[in-house]
Structure 1
Amino acid sequence: MSPLALGVLVAVVTIVILMSGTPVAFSLGIVAVGFLLIFDGMGALDVIPQIFYGGIDSFALLSIPMFIVMGSAIASSRAGSDLYEALDRWLYKVPGGLLVSNISACAIFAALSGSSPATCAAIGKMGIPEMRKRGYPAGLATGSIAAGGTLGILIPPSVTMIVYGIATETSIGRLFLAGLLPGLMLTALFTCWGLFVAWRGGYRFSDVSAHFTLKQRFEILPKVLPFLIIIAGILWVLYGGVATPSEAAGVGAVFCILVVAVIYRMWRPFAFWKIFKESMRESVMIMMIIAAAALFSYMMSSLFITQSLAIWIGELEVNRWVLMFCINIFLLVAGFFLPPVAVILMTAPTLVPIIEAAGFDPIWFAVVLTINMEIGLITPPVGLNLYVINGIAPDVRLPTILWGALPFMFCMVLGIIILCLVPEIALWLPRTMMQ
């Protein structure tokens, strides 16, 4: 059997096992071990433990659980509610201020927590009922927050960017910088679309009876600013070369826990236990996927599938933008069925050499890949954000949420097109600040 035919067989078997409901890490591990045993014999058992352990034997990976602890500490507090309220107090007189408050709160909280589901839950619990009370349709209210929650995997600090950096041996600091302006661009596109729909539909923009004094606007800021200062500090030490991502994440996690304890009086042991338990569960899940993906990549390389695929694509006489279009379609479809971390670990090591050979920048590609993963978060059948929003507003049917989020998916597609036309949006900051 040729390597390419074997690759097709591996893909089919992997999809079948994933569709059976088996967890991603176990699916990748089963496929990798099975094909290694079939084609390399029982001798493969000697290297499997080494490859599996080697996949997570990296100091840089320490930043992942630390950032998760940081996000879990913020998500377990009332920081999301306070952030939403603070923005609403400052923007309530702005036409469309409520919608701007929701999307902005999603963008900021997503960056703080690094978790799309946590963002949807934290902002959606207040934002969705308030928007519907003021006349916004259920689709726009739920879809805007479902889409806004996806911004956390792009705006730094981003766990998916860390995973991409480790998988492709790319500078994590540069990746963080690359995601900043595109993240703000997507936030602006979401806001523009939401305001257009609200204006066209004549929905109430704000609560005309509300009034906040200057004192009321400032009094809530002390609860929000410490978290923003911590994030700004983490980014500064990363880009300034003061600390590694792991060191910065560790210090940030400690400070977030202390700020949550002081501001929100979360001194009880149960509160800390909940933070660490949720962080442990998510960290172990990601680490297992990373280890299994390393084993899967080794199997693909050992059977010469990866090399053959790269050679075959490299020999195709097609325009590089046609190649990039095909890669985007592939990533989009993969994001429909798999979580972002799994897609990155399975595809990035193979795709990056191909896109580099075609003349594309791997840091720019990381942003394009991540936006594709954002679309997957609000697209069935996986579409985790859709189900979180449905749990918050059970009276809103899932198709309504999906249709409400659909225009924001087109905004993301537009964002990818803009990045293709103006790649400096992603590359200017890394080139300027980290020469």
Structure 2
Amino acid sequence: MAIRTATKKREVAVTSDLYEVLQPFIFVTRAFGFMPIVCKKKVLGFVAEWSIGYTIYSYLLGLFMMFVSMNGLHEDFHQSNSVRMGNTTVKYVTLIDLGEVIVTVFIGIVATPFKLKHLWKILDCFHKIDNVLPQKKIKEEQRHTIICILIAIGCVLFVLTYELYLWGEISNRSGLLWVFMKRYFILFSTYFMVFIQEMPYWNFTRLIRKRIEALNHALDAGLEIFKSLTKLWITPIKTNKKSNSSNFGILSHQRVVNLMKVYELIGDSVDATNDFCGVSILFIMFSCLLHLVVTPYFLLVEVANNGYFIFIFLQFSWTMLHCGRLMVIVETCQYCLDEHQKTVDLVFKLLSCELQEDVKDQLKVFALQLSGRKVRFTSFSMMKINRSLLTAIGGSITTFLVILFQFGSVGSDVYYSRD
């Protein structure tokens, strides 16, 4: 009943073009419990709606993954034949490291059905924007989405499979291969799911950027038309005749009003994305910080103790993977912010032109709208997601690494037995 209340609006219209772009990552995230919706074919396109069946599937999957993963972690922590926790320091570091993954995935699955009203808002905004500024190269965009998803999944599977193989070999030498697989296989699968959990955020952010680019293209086209008419746009001939509005092509008064509506919808879609992914992205960013402390710690321990190259490469791979997931989130948001800044620049360039009075007055209102309604990617207003976040995280990682090395001695058995 609570879920039904939280998802009062249970469906939203989606154009065929938008559905083609959304389909790949909806399919992937839904399979892992993070998108309990279905898209049904209608006469004029598609309708996305909440699915009770997929919600039940998501919750059952989340409960299964959490309980089995926690049981395996608990068993390895307390048993004398521990596979990965032979050292006291490593016990607690690994417990926090892997325990956080379980919590992040479970909370992401549980929270999503209660956030679907924000998903409907995102899709509704995209639908309205595309009616004014239709998206181009849909097939190319769909192909780009599929390639990005495949690359992300491929990188994660490579590192996870590599680690599973190495620890499997070590366990097999001690006759504990079955014990290791029983304790860690589902946990590794949960680890894979935390990377899938990020996909809605960076996909929606990229789609927002595409619509800002379309807005900028419309503004830039108007600027180019004006420059071609006046030859030198800095010193044009001013006209006050409203009948000449069509001379400036897309920069008529009504066109500027429509572009302002588009920008308002873009702002709404950004806010809805922050709300829809807010819980997940908060835990994901904490996950990135935690793993970028723990993984370099194990990497430096291996290097300091002349460890085996295969384990040094493993920890290096994990470090690069976690850096990559952080960079994907931050850079996707930053590219969107950079595109928004181009919108501001274009509007002010147009204000420098001697445009028709009604058009120029409307552009002034547009400029006020841009200054008052800025694009911001946040998580519960606790952090702004842009490149400045990388500096903050980098400083925190350095501090925690120093504390971690002072807390525990760096011995040759800190990570695994060398016997």
Shared fold (TM-score greater than 0.5)? no
Structure 2-normalised TM-score? 0.27
Structure having greater relative contact order (Cα 8 Å, sep ≥ 6): 1
In terms of fraction of residues, the more helix-rich structure is 1
